[in-house]
Amino acid sequence: MASLSNNEIKRIKALQQKKFRDETGLFIVEGEKMVEEALHSRFEVQSVYRKDEIGEEAMRRISSLSSPSPAFAVVRKPSDTYVGDVSDIASTFASGGLYIALDTIRDPGNLGTILRIADWFGVDAVFATPDTVDVFNPKVVQATMGAVFRVRMHYTDLPSLASTLIESGGKVYGTFLDGENIYSRHLDDGSESPVMIVIGNESEGISKEMSALVSDRLYIPPYPADQPGSESLNAAVATALAVAEFRRRTY
Amino acid sequence: MASLSNNEIKRIKALQQKKFRDETGLFIVEGEKMVEEALHSRFEVQSVYRKDEIGEEAMRRISSLSSPSPAFAVVRKPSDTYVGDVSDIASTFASGGLYIALDTIRDPGNLGTILRIADWFGVDAVFATPDTVDVFNPKVVQATMGAVFRVRMHYTDLPSLASTLIESGGKVYGTFLDGENIYSRHLDDGSESPVMIVIGNESEGISKEMSALVSDRLYIPPYPADQPGSESLNAAVATALAVAEFRRRTY
Protein backbone atom coordinates (compact mmCIF):
# COMPACT_ATOMS: atom_id res chain seq x y z
CA MET A 1 0.00 0.00 0.00
CA ALA A 2 1.37 3.41 -1.00
CA SER A 3 1.73 5.74 1.92
CA LEU A 4 1.35 9.48 2.26
CA SER A 5 3.93 11.42 4.29
CA ASN A 6 2.78 13.72 7.07
CA ASN A 7 3.90 16.65 4.96
CA GLU A 8 1.79 15.56 2.01
CA ILE A 9 -1.23 15.12 4.28
CA LYS A 10 -0.66 18.58 5.75
CA ARG A 11 -0.36 20.12 2.28
CA ILE A 12 -3.63 18.49 1.14
CA LYS A 13 -5.51 19.38 4.31
CA ALA A 14 -4.42 23.00 3.91
CA LEU A 15 -6.50 23.16 0.72
CA GLN A 16 -9.59 23.29 2.94
CA GLN A 17 -8.56 26.92 3.53
CA LYS A 18 -9.06 29.59 0.87
CA LYS A 19 -5.63 31.12 1.56
CA PHE A 20 -3.86 27.92 0.50
CA ARG A 21 -6.17 27.31 -2.45
CA ASP A 22 -5.34 30.81 -3.69
CA GLU A 23 -1.58 30.28 -3.16
CA THR A 24 -1.42 26.92 -4.91
CA GLY A 25 -4.27 27.21 -7.43
CA LEU A 26 -5.52 23.80 -6.27
CA PHE A 27 -8.72 22.54 -4.66
CA ILE A 28 -10.09 19.21 -3.42
CA VAL A 29 -12.87 16.99 -4.72
CA GLU A 30 -14.32 14.04 -2.78
CA GLY A 31 -16.46 11.09 -3.74
CA GLU A 32 -16.30 8.43 -6.45
CA LYS A 33 -18.78 10.23 -8.69
CA MET A 34 -17.28 13.68 -8.21
CA VAL A 35 -13.76 12.40 -8.94
CA GLU A 36 -15.09 10.73 -12.11
CA GLU A 37 -16.70 14.01 -13.15
CA ALA A 38 -13.43 15.87 -12.52
CA LEU A 39 -11.50 13.36 -14.66
CA HIS A 40 -13.97 13.82 -17.52
CA SER A 41 -14.08 17.61 -17.24
CA ARG A 42 -11.84 20.25 -18.81
CA PHE A 43 -10.21 20.71 -15.37
CA GLU A 44 -6.71 19.35 -14.81
CA VAL A 45 -6.68 16.66 -12.10
CA GLN A 46 -3.34 16.78 -10.30
CA SER A 47 -3.67 13.64 -8.23
CA VAL A 48 -6.23 11.01 -7.26
CA TYR A 49 -6.16 9.18 -3.93
CA ARG A 50 -8.15 6.01 -3.31
CA LYS A 51 -8.83 4.32 0.00
CA ASP A 52 -7.65 0.95 -1.27
CA GLU A 53 -4.31 2.52 -2.25
CA ILE A 54 -3.47 4.87 0.63
CA GLY A 55 -5.46 3.22 3.42
CA GLU A 56 -8.43 4.30 5.49
CA GLU A 57 -6.44 6.21 8.08
CA ALA A 58 -4.74 8.48 5.51
CA MET A 59 -8.11 8.96 3.78
CA ARG A 60 -9.65 10.03 7.05
CA ARG A 61 -6.84 12.50 7.63
CA ILE A 62 -7.04 14.26 4.24
CA SER A 63 -10.85 14.26 4.04
CA SER A 64 -13.02 17.30 4.77
CA LEU A 65 -16.02 15.03 5.37
CA SER A 66 -17.11 13.37 8.58
CA SER A 67 -17.27 10.02 6.76
CA PRO A 68 -14.48 9.99 4.16
CA SER A 69 -15.43 8.62 0.75
CA PRO A 70 -13.34 6.03 -1.14
CA ALA A 71 -12.02 8.55 -3.68
CA PHE A 72 -10.38 11.95 -3.36
CA ALA A 73 -8.70 14.24 -5.89
CA VAL A 74 -6.59 17.37 -5.94
CA VAL A 75 -7.66 19.47 -8.93
CA ARG A 76 -6.24 22.62 -10.53
CA LYS A 77 -8.47 25.68 -10.74
CA PRO A 78 -8.90 26.70 -14.39
CA SER A 79 -7.00 29.84 -15.30
CA ASP A 80 -9.50 31.21 -17.79
CA THR A 81 -12.38 31.66 -15.43
CA TYR A 82 -13.27 32.45 -11.82
CA VAL A 83 -11.17 35.59 -12.05
CA GLY A 84 -11.93 39.30 -11.88
CA ASP A 85 -11.49 39.94 -15.62
CA VAL A 86 -14.86 39.52 -17.27
CA SER A 87 -14.17 41.58 -20.39
CA ASP A 88 -14.72 38.62 -22.72
CA ILE A 89 -18.04 37.78 -21.05
CA ALA A 90 -19.14 41.39 -21.20
CA SER A 91 -18.42 41.33 -24.94
CA THR A 92 -20.89 38.44 -25.30
CA PHE A 93 -23.65 40.57 -23.78
CA ALA A 94 -24.29 41.85 -27.32
CA SER A 95 -25.72 38.46 -28.25
CA GLY A 96 -27.94 38.17 -25.15
CA GLY A 97 -27.86 35.42 -22.55
CA LEU A 98 -29.31 34.64 -19.12
CA TYR A 99 -27.03 35.40 -16.18
CA ILE A 100 -27.25 35.03 -12.41
CA ALA A 101 -25.61 37.69 -10.21
CA LEU A 102 -25.00 36.71 -6.58
CA ASP A 103 -24.95 39.71 -4.29
CA THR A 104 -22.98 38.22 -1.39
CA ILE A 105 -24.09 34.64 -0.87
CA ARG A 106 -22.44 33.37 2.34
CA ASP A 107 -23.71 29.82 2.74
CA PRO A 108 -21.64 27.11 0.97
CA GLY A 109 -24.71 24.86 0.52
CA ASN A 110 -26.62 27.70 -1.12
CA LEU A 111 -23.81 28.48 -3.58
CA GLY A 112 -23.40 24.82 -4.48
CA THR A 113 -27.14 24.42 -5.03
CA ILE A 114 -27.25 27.60 -7.13
CA LEU A 115 -24.51 26.24 -9.41
CA ARG A 116 -26.50 23.04 -9.81
CA ILE A 117 -29.58 25.11 -10.74
CA ALA A 118 -27.53 27.18 -13.21
CA ASP A 119 -26.28 23.95 -14.78
CA TRP A 120 -29.78 22.42 -15.02
CA PHE A 121 -31.33 25.52 -16.56
CA GLY A 122 -28.43 26.34 -18.90
CA VAL A 123 -27.56 29.71 -17.35
CA ASP A 124 -24.77 31.31 -19.40
CA ALA A 125 -22.67 32.42 -16.43
CA VAL A 126 -22.89 33.07 -12.70
CA PHE A 127 -21.33 36.28 -11.39
CA ALA A 128 -20.70 36.95 -7.71
CA THR A 129 -19.43 39.73 -5.49
CA PRO A 130 -15.87 39.09 -4.24
CA ASP A 131 -17.22 38.52 -0.71
CA THR A 132 -19.47 35.66 -1.85
CA VAL A 133 -18.26 32.31 -0.44
CA ASP A 134 -15.44 30.71 -2.48
CA VAL A 135 -16.75 28.28 -5.11
CA PHE A 136 -13.72 26.02 -4.39
CA ASN A 137 -14.60 25.69 -0.71
CA PRO A 138 -14.95 21.88 -0.23
CA LYS A 139 -18.57 22.24 0.99
CA VAL A 140 -19.51 24.24 -2.11
CA VAL A 141 -17.77 21.77 -4.45
CA GLN A 142 -19.64 18.83 -2.85
CA ALA A 143 -23.01 20.61 -3.00
CA THR A 144 -22.61 21.32 -6.74
CA MET A 145 -22.69 17.57 -7.48
CA GLY A 146 -20.35 18.22 -10.40
CA ALA A 147 -21.89 21.45 -11.71
CA VAL A 148 -18.69 23.23 -10.59
CA PHE A 149 -16.95 21.58 -13.56
CA ARG A 150 -19.51 22.88 -16.07
CA VAL A 151 -20.87 26.26 -14.99
CA ARG A 152 -18.89 29.37 -15.80
CA MET A 153 -18.49 31.52 -12.69
CA HIS A 154 -16.75 34.85 -12.06
CA TYR A 155 -16.10 36.88 -8.94
CA THR A 156 -16.27 40.48 -10.01
CA ASP A 157 -17.51 43.98 -9.26
CA LEU A 158 -21.27 43.42 -9.75
CA PRO A 159 -22.47 47.04 -9.99
CA SER A 160 -19.96 47.79 -12.73
CA LEU A 161 -20.88 44.59 -14.61
CA ALA A 162 -24.61 45.36 -14.27
CA SER A 163 -23.97 48.83 -15.71
CA THR A 164 -22.15 47.28 -18.69
CA LEU A 165 -25.09 44.92 -19.23
CA ILE A 166 -27.58 47.80 -19.13
CA GLU A 167 -25.44 49.72 -21.66
CA SER A 168 -25.68 46.67 -23.94
CA GLY A 169 -29.49 47.05 -23.87
CA GLY A 170 -29.99 44.35 -21.21
CA LYS A 171 -32.28 44.15 -18.21
CA VAL A 172 -31.44 43.60 -14.56
CA TYR A 173 -34.11 41.72 -12.59
CA GLY A 174 -34.22 41.21 -8.84
CA THR A 175 -36.69 39.74 -6.36
CA PHE A 176 -38.14 42.04 -3.69
CA LEU A 177 -41.06 41.75 -1.28
CA ASP A 178 -42.65 44.78 -2.98
CA GLY A 179 -41.96 43.59 -6.54
CA GLU A 180 -44.42 42.63 -9.27
CA ASN A 181 -45.81 39.08 -9.50
CA ILE A 182 -43.23 37.19 -11.59
CA TYR A 183 -45.96 34.87 -12.97
CA SER A 184 -48.11 37.59 -14.53
CA ARG A 185 -45.69 40.09 -16.02
CA HIS A 186 -43.51 40.24 -19.14
CA LEU A 187 -39.99 38.82 -18.81
CA ASP A 188 -37.26 39.21 -21.42
CA ASP A 189 -35.90 35.78 -22.30
CA GLY A 190 -32.30 36.74 -23.00
CA SER A 191 -32.46 35.64 -26.62
CA GLU A 192 -31.93 39.13 -28.03
CA SER A 193 -30.56 41.21 -25.19
CA PRO A 194 -28.83 40.03 -22.00
CA VAL A 195 -30.81 39.34 -18.83
CA MET A 196 -29.35 39.35 -15.32
CA ILE A 197 -31.18 38.01 -12.26
CA VAL A 198 -29.76 39.41 -9.00
CA ILE A 199 -29.97 37.17 -5.92
CA GLY A 200 -29.53 38.92 -2.59
CA ASN A 201 -27.71 37.92 0.57
CA GLU A 202 -29.38 35.36 2.88
CA SER A 203 -30.25 37.90 5.57
CA GLU A 204 -29.69 41.35 4.07
CA GLY A 205 -31.19 40.81 0.61
CA ILE A 206 -29.95 42.83 -2.37
CA SER A 207 -27.51 45.64 -1.51
CA LYS A 208 -28.50 49.29 -1.91
CA GLU A 209 -26.02 49.79 -4.73
CA MET A 210 -27.31 46.79 -6.74
CA SER A 211 -30.96 47.62 -5.95
CA ALA A 212 -30.46 50.96 -7.67
CA LEU A 213 -29.43 49.10 -10.84
CA VAL A 214 -32.41 46.72 -10.86
CA SER A 215 -34.79 47.85 -13.60
CA ASP A 216 -37.51 45.22 -12.97
CA ARG A 217 -38.51 44.32 -9.43
CA LEU A 218 -40.04 40.85 -9.23
CA TYR A 219 -41.94 39.02 -6.49
CA ILE A 220 -42.54 35.30 -6.11
CA PRO A 221 -46.05 35.21 -4.62
CA PRO A 222 -46.80 32.99 -1.62
CA TYR A 223 -50.05 31.03 -1.40
CA PRO A 224 -52.61 32.30 -0.66
CA ALA A 225 -51.19 35.40 -2.34
CA ASP A 226 -52.16 37.75 0.49
CA GLN A 227 -51.02 35.53 3.36
CA PRO A 228 -47.30 34.91 3.38
CA GLY A 229 -46.30 32.36 6.01
CA SER A 230 -42.51 32.53 5.97
CA GLU A 231 -41.04 35.97 5.56
CA SER A 232 -38.89 34.86 2.67
CA LEU A 233 -37.64 31.94 0.67
CA ASN A 234 -34.15 30.45 0.93
CA ALA A 235 -31.74 32.14 -1.53
CA ALA A 236 -31.18 28.99 -3.61
CA VAL A 237 -34.93 28.29 -3.75
CA ALA A 238 -35.64 31.86 -4.89
CA THR A 239 -32.96 31.43 -7.58
CA ALA A 240 -34.55 28.19 -8.79
CA LEU A 241 -38.06 29.66 -8.94
CA ALA A 242 -36.93 32.80 -10.77
CA VAL A 243 -34.69 31.04 -13.32
CA ALA A 244 -37.32 28.32 -13.94
CA GLU A 245 -39.95 30.97 -14.73
CA PHE A 246 -37.66 32.66 -17.29
CA ARG A 247 -37.01 29.26 -18.92
CA ARG A 248 -40.57 27.90 -18.65
CA ARG A 249 -41.85 30.49 -21.09
CA THR A 250 -39.36 29.50 -23.77
CA TYR A 251 -39.88 25.71 -23.72
CA MET B 1 -25.58 36.82 36.50
CA ALA B 2 -27.65 33.63 36.81
CA SER B 3 -25.57 30.52 36.34
CA LEU B 4 -26.28 27.13 34.86
CA SER B 5 -25.11 24.02 36.66
CA ASN B 6 -23.04 21.46 34.79
CA ASN B 7 -25.99 19.10 35.03
CA GLU B 8 -28.36 21.58 33.42
CA ILE B 9 -25.86 22.21 30.63
CA LYS B 10 -25.51 18.47 30.08
CA ARG B 11 -29.29 18.01 30.00
CA ILE B 12 -29.69 20.80 27.41
CA LYS B 13 -26.79 19.60 25.25
CA ALA B 14 -28.31 16.12 25.21
CA LEU B 15 -31.26 17.56 23.24
CA GLN B 16 -28.98 17.68 20.22
CA GLN B 17 -29.56 13.93 20.08
CA LYS B 18 -32.84 12.43 18.87
CA LYS B 19 -32.86 9.84 21.64
CA PHE B 20 -33.05 12.51 24.35
CA ARG B 21 -35.53 14.64 22.41
CA ASP B 22 -37.80 11.59 22.18
CA GLU B 23 -37.36 10.80 25.88
CA THR B 24 -38.07 14.32 27.12
CA GLY B 25 -40.38 15.64 24.40
CA LEU B 26 -38.18 18.75 24.20
CA PHE B 27 -36.06 20.38 21.49
CA ILE B 28 -33.82 23.43 21.16
CA VAL B 29 -34.22 26.66 19.23
CA GLU B 30 -31.42 29.18 18.68
CA GLY B 31 -31.31 32.79 17.57
CA GLU B 32 -33.11 35.98 18.60
CA LYS B 33 -35.64 35.74 15.76
CA MET B 34 -36.30 32.01 16.13
CA VAL B 35 -36.84 32.34 19.89
CA GLU B 36 -39.29 35.21 19.22
CA GLU B 37 -41.15 33.02 16.72
CA ALA B 38 -41.30 30.18 19.26
CA LEU B 39 -42.73 32.52 21.90
CA HIS B 40 -45.43 33.70 19.49
CA SER B 41 -46.28 30.20 18.25
CA ARG B 42 -48.68 27.62 19.63
CA PHE B 43 -45.64 25.70 20.94
CA GLU B 44 -44.92 25.70 24.66
CA VAL B 45 -41.57 27.32 25.42
CA GLN B 46 -40.10 25.68 28.52
CA SER B 47 -37.18 28.02 29.11
CA VAL B 48 -35.32 30.85 27.43
CA TYR B 49 -31.62 31.51 27.96
CA ARG B 50 -29.96 34.79 27.02
CA LYS B 51 -26.27 35.55 26.77
CA ASP B 52 -26.56 38.63 28.98
CA GLU B 53 -28.18 36.50 31.70
CA ILE B 54 -26.18 33.26 31.70
CA GLY B 55 -22.90 34.52 30.23
CA GLU B 56 -21.04 33.81 27.01
CA GLU B 57 -19.27 30.70 28.28
CA ALA B 58 -22.50 28.90 29.26
CA MET B 59 -24.08 29.99 25.96
CA ARG B 60 -21.16 28.50 24.07
CA ARG B 61 -21.53 25.25 26.00
CA ILE B 62 -25.24 24.73 25.35
CA SER B 63 -25.19 25.91 21.73
CA SER B 64 -25.24 23.59 18.73
CA LEU B 65 -23.82 26.37 16.54
CA SER B 66 -20.19 27.23 15.91
CA SER B 67 -20.93 30.86 16.82
CA PRO B 68 -23.59 30.82 19.56
CA SER B 69 -26.37 33.37 19.17
CA PRO B 70 -27.56 35.67 22.00
CA ALA B 71 -30.80 33.75 22.57
CA PHE B 72 -31.61 30.08 23.10
CA ALA B 73 -34.81 28.26 24.06
CA VAL B 74 -35.91 24.80 25.12
CA VAL B 75 -39.31 24.13 23.56
CA ARG B 76 -41.85 21.34 24.02
CA LYS B 77 -42.80 19.28 20.97
CA PRO B 78 -46.55 19.57 20.34
CA SER B 79 -48.45 16.42 21.23
CA ASP B 80 -51.07 16.67 18.49
CA THR B 81 -48.73 16.44 15.56
CA TYR B 82 -45.47 14.91 14.36
CA VAL B 83 -46.74 11.50 15.39
CA GLY B 84 -47.67 8.35 13.56
CA ASP B 85 -51.43 8.77 13.94
CA VAL B 86 -52.67 10.65 10.91
CA SER B 87 -56.30 9.51 11.04
CA ASP B 88 -57.61 13.06 11.49
CA ILE B 89 -55.55 14.30 8.52
CA ALA B 90 -56.70 11.39 6.40
CA SER B 91 -60.30 12.35 7.21
CA THR B 92 -59.64 15.81 5.73
CA PHE B 93 -58.64 14.26 2.40
CA ALA B 94 -62.35 14.35 1.52
CA SER B 95 -62.14 18.14 1.21
CA GLY B 96 -59.00 18.13 -0.92
CA GLY B 97 -55.69 19.80 -0.10
CA LEU B 98 -52.11 19.92 -1.34
CA TYR B 99 -49.67 17.64 0.50
CA ILE B 100 -45.95 16.91 0.30
CA ALA B 101 -44.74 13.36 0.99
CA LEU B 102 -41.04 12.96 1.77
CA ASP B 103 -39.72 9.55 0.84
CA THR B 104 -36.65 9.44 3.09
CA ILE B 105 -35.03 12.86 3.09
CA ARG B 106 -31.70 12.57 4.93
CA ASP B 107 -30.18 16.03 4.79
CA PRO B 108 -31.21 18.38 7.63
CA GLY B 109 -30.77 21.47 5.43
CA ASN B 110 -33.06 19.97 2.79
CA LEU B 111 -35.81 19.16 5.29
CA GLY B 112 -35.61 22.65 6.83
CA THR B 113 -35.78 24.28 3.40
CA ILE B 114 -38.71 22.06 2.39
CA LEU B 115 -40.68 23.16 5.47
CA ARG B 116 -39.97 26.78 4.56
CA ILE B 117 -41.26 26.10 1.03
CA ALA B 118 -44.38 24.35 2.43
CA ASP B 119 -45.00 27.38 4.64
CA TRP B 120 -44.55 29.88 1.77
CA PHE B 121 -46.82 27.99 -0.59
CA GLY B 122 -49.48 27.09 1.99
CA VAL B 123 -49.07 23.33 1.75
CA ASP B 124 -51.67 21.64 3.99
CA ALA B 125 -49.30 19.13 5.57
CA VAL B 126 -45.92 17.48 5.06
CA PHE B 127 -45.73 13.71 5.54
CA ALA B 128 -42.47 11.80 5.82
CA THR B 129 -41.24 8.24 6.13
CA PRO B 130 -40.09 7.41 9.68
CA ASP B 131 -36.47 7.26 8.46
CA THR B 132 -36.56 10.86 7.21
CA VAL B 133 -34.31 13.11 9.33
CA ASP B 134 -35.97 14.33 12.55
CA VAL B 135 -37.66 17.72 12.13
CA PHE B 136 -36.52 18.64 15.68
CA ASN B 137 -32.84 18.09 14.82
CA PRO B 138 -31.25 21.51 15.63
CA LYS B 139 -29.96 21.89 12.05
CA VAL B 140 -33.44 21.29 10.63
CA VAL B 141 -35.05 23.71 13.10
CA GLN B 142 -32.53 26.44 12.17
CA ALA B 143 -32.99 25.89 8.42
CA THR B 144 -36.79 26.26 8.69
CA MET B 145 -36.38 29.91 9.77
CA GLY B 146 -39.51 29.48 11.90
CA ALA B 147 -41.63 27.42 9.49
CA VAL B 148 -41.28 24.51 11.96
CA PHE B 149 -43.75 26.38 14.20
CA ARG B 150 -46.35 26.75 11.46
CA VAL B 151 -46.23 23.75 9.10
CA ARG B 152 -48.04 20.57 10.07
CA MET B 153 -45.74 17.59 9.72
CA HIS B 154 -46.24 13.85 10.34
CA TYR B 155 -43.91 10.87 10.27
CA THR B 156 -45.97 8.00 9.04
CA ASP B 157 -46.21 4.97 6.78
CA LEU B 158 -46.27 6.72 3.39
CA PRO B 159 -47.50 3.87 1.16
CA SER B 160 -50.49 3.29 3.40
CA LEU B 161 -51.28 7.03 3.55
CA ALA B 162 -50.95 7.32 -0.25
CA SER B 163 -53.39 4.42 -0.64
CA THR B 164 -55.89 6.20 1.65
CA LEU B 165 -55.51 9.37 -0.42
CA ILE B 166 -56.09 7.48 -3.66
CA GLU B 167 -59.21 5.86 -2.16
CA SER B 168 -60.48 9.39 -1.39
CA GLY B 169 -60.26 10.14 -5.12
CA GLY B 170 -56.92 11.93 -4.84
CA LYS B 171 -53.84 11.89 -7.07
CA VAL B 172 -50.26 11.03 -6.22
CA TYR B 173 -47.66 12.94 -8.25
CA GLY B 174 -43.93 12.32 -8.29
CA THR B 175 -40.96 13.64 -10.28
CA PHE B 176 -39.01 11.18 -12.44
CA LEU B 177 -36.43 11.57 -15.20
CA ASP B 178 -38.86 9.82 -17.58
CA GLY B 179 -41.94 11.76 -16.46
CA GLU B 180 -44.09 14.19 -18.45
CA ASN B 181 -43.16 17.88 -18.69
CA ILE B 182 -44.78 19.46 -15.61
CA TYR B 183 -45.22 22.78 -17.44
CA SER B 184 -47.36 21.44 -20.25
CA ARG B 185 -49.70 18.90 -18.68
CA HIS B 186 -52.83 19.06 -16.56
CA LEU B 187 -52.35 19.19 -12.79
CA ASP B 188 -55.13 18.83 -10.23
CA ASP B 189 -55.04 21.81 -7.88
CA GLY B 190 -56.21 20.07 -4.71
CA SER B 191 -59.34 22.20 -4.45
CA GLU B 192 -61.74 19.29 -4.95
CA SER B 193 -59.75 16.15 -4.34
CA PRO B 194 -56.47 15.74 -2.44
CA VAL B 195 -53.11 16.01 -4.20
CA MET B 196 -49.86 14.51 -2.92
CA ILE B 197 -46.43 15.34 -4.35
CA VAL B 198 -43.84 12.67 -3.52
CA ILE B 199 -40.22 13.83 -3.13
CA GLY B 200 -37.58 11.12 -3.34
CA ASN B 201 -34.40 10.51 -1.39
CA GLU B 202 -31.34 12.66 -2.29
CA SER B 203 -29.47 9.80 -3.95
CA GLU B 204 -31.96 6.95 -4.41
CA GLY B 205 -35.00 8.93 -5.58
CA ILE B 206 -38.52 7.62 -4.92
CA SER B 207 -38.67 4.09 -3.47
CA LYS B 208 -40.06 1.22 -5.50
CA GLU B 209 -43.06 0.88 -3.20
CA MET B 210 -44.02 4.56 -3.47
CA SER B 211 -43.27 4.66 -7.22
CA ALA B 212 -45.93 2.00 -7.70
CA LEU B 213 -48.47 4.33 -6.07
CA VAL B 214 -47.60 7.39 -8.19
CA SER B 215 -50.38 7.90 -10.73
CA ASP B 216 -48.84 10.88 -12.52
CA ARG B 217 -45.13 10.94 -13.31
CA LEU B 218 -43.81 14.48 -13.73
CA TYR B 219 -40.54 15.88 -15.06
CA ILE B 220 -39.04 19.32 -14.52
CA PRO B 221 -37.36 19.97 -17.89
CA PRO B 222 -33.80 21.29 -18.02
CA TYR B 223 -32.79 23.97 -20.53
CA PRO B 224 -32.29 23.36 -23.36
CA ALA B 225 -34.91 20.63 -22.90
CA ASP B 226 -32.84 17.96 -24.65
CA GLN B 227 -29.52 18.74 -22.97
CA PRO B 228 -29.56 18.21 -19.24
CA GLY B 229 -26.37 19.45 -17.58
CA SER B 230 -26.72 18.17 -14.02
CA GLU B 231 -28.20 14.74 -13.63
CA SER B 232 -30.77 15.97 -11.17
CA LEU B 233 -31.90 18.85 -9.04
CA ASN B 234 -31.43 19.09 -5.29
CA ALA B 235 -34.44 17.59 -3.42
CA ALA B 236 -35.51 20.91 -1.87
CA VAL B 237 -35.19 22.68 -5.23
CA ALA B 238 -37.30 20.01 -6.95
CA THR B 239 -39.91 20.43 -4.19
CA ALA B 240 -40.00 24.19 -4.69
CA LEU B 241 -40.34 23.94 -8.48
CA ALA B 242 -43.11 21.32 -8.30
CA VAL B 243 -45.15 23.02 -5.56
CA ALA B 244 -44.76 26.44 -7.22
CA GLU B 245 -46.13 25.06 -10.50
CA PHE B 246 -49.23 23.62 -8.76
CA ARG B 247 -49.81 26.98 -7.05
CA ARG B 248 -48.92 29.22 -10.04
CA ARG B 249 -51.92 27.95 -11.97
CA THR B 250 -54.35 28.94 -9.23
CA TYR B 251 -53.14 32.53 -8.59
Q: Which CATH superfamily is domain B6-76 in?
A: Ribosomal protein L30/S12 (3.30.1330.30)
Q: What's the rounded Cα separation, in Å, for the pair A93 and B127?
A: 45
Chain A residues 58-117 with CB within 8 Å of chain B: 109, 113, 116-117
Contact B145 A232 (CB under 8 A): yes
pLDDT of residue A149: 95
Nearest to B120 among A113, A121, A222 (CB): A222
Contact B230 A119 (CB under 8 A): yes
Contact A233 B183 (CB under 8 A): no
Rg (CA), chain A: 20
Provide the residue ranges of all domains of chain B, joining segments of one domain with +: 6-76, 87-248
Hey, is the C-beta of B163 within 8 angstroms of any chain A C-beta?
no
pLDDT of residue A3: 78
For residue A231, the distance in angstroms to the closest alpha carbon of chain B comes to: 8
Mind spelling out the 3-state secondary structure of A99-121?
EEEEECCCCHHHHHHHHHHHHHC
Strands (DSSP E) along chain A, which ranges? 26-30, 45-50, 71-76, 98-103, 125-128, 153-155, 171-181, 195-200, 216-219
Contact B233 A116 (CB under 8 A): yes
pLDDT tens digits, one per residue of B202-232: 999 999 999 999 999 999 999 988 765 566 8
User: Does residue A189 contact residue A148 with C-beta atoms inside 8 Å?
Assistant: no
Q: Which residues of A touch B234 (CB under 8 A)?
A: 113, 116-117, 143, 145, 236
> What percentage of chain A exceeds 70 in pLDDT?
95
Residues of chain B with pLDDT under 50: none
pLDDT of residue B230: 61
Q: What's the rounded Cα separation, in Å, for the pair A151 and A161?
A: 18
Nearest to A116 among B122, B147, B234 (CB): B234
pLDDT tens digits, one per residue of B151-194: 999 999 999 999 999 999 999 999 998 899 999 999 999 999 99
Report the residue of B37, B120, B144, B233 to disrupt the A interface, i.e. the one with the largest count of A CBs within 10 Å.
B120
Nearest to B240 among A184, A227, A237 (CB): A237
Exposure of B140 in the CB half-sphere (CA atoms within 13 A): 22
Alpha helices in B40-157 (DSSP H): 51-54, 56-62, 87-92, 108-120, 138-144
What is the architecture of the domain spanning A87-248? Answer: 3-Layer(aba) Sandwich (3.40)
Distance from the Cα of residue A210 to its chain's centroid: 18
Ordered per-residue pLDDT tens for chain A, 251 residues:
567 899 999 999 999 999 999 999 999 999 999 999 999 999 999 999 999 999 999 999 999 998 999 999 999 998 755 555 677 777 889 889 999 999 999 999 999 999 999 999 999 999 999 999 999 999 999 999 999 999 999 999 999 999 999 999 999 999 998 899 999 999 999 999 999 999 999 999 999 999 999 999 999 999 988 765 566 899 999 999 999 999 999 87
pLDDT of residue A82: 57
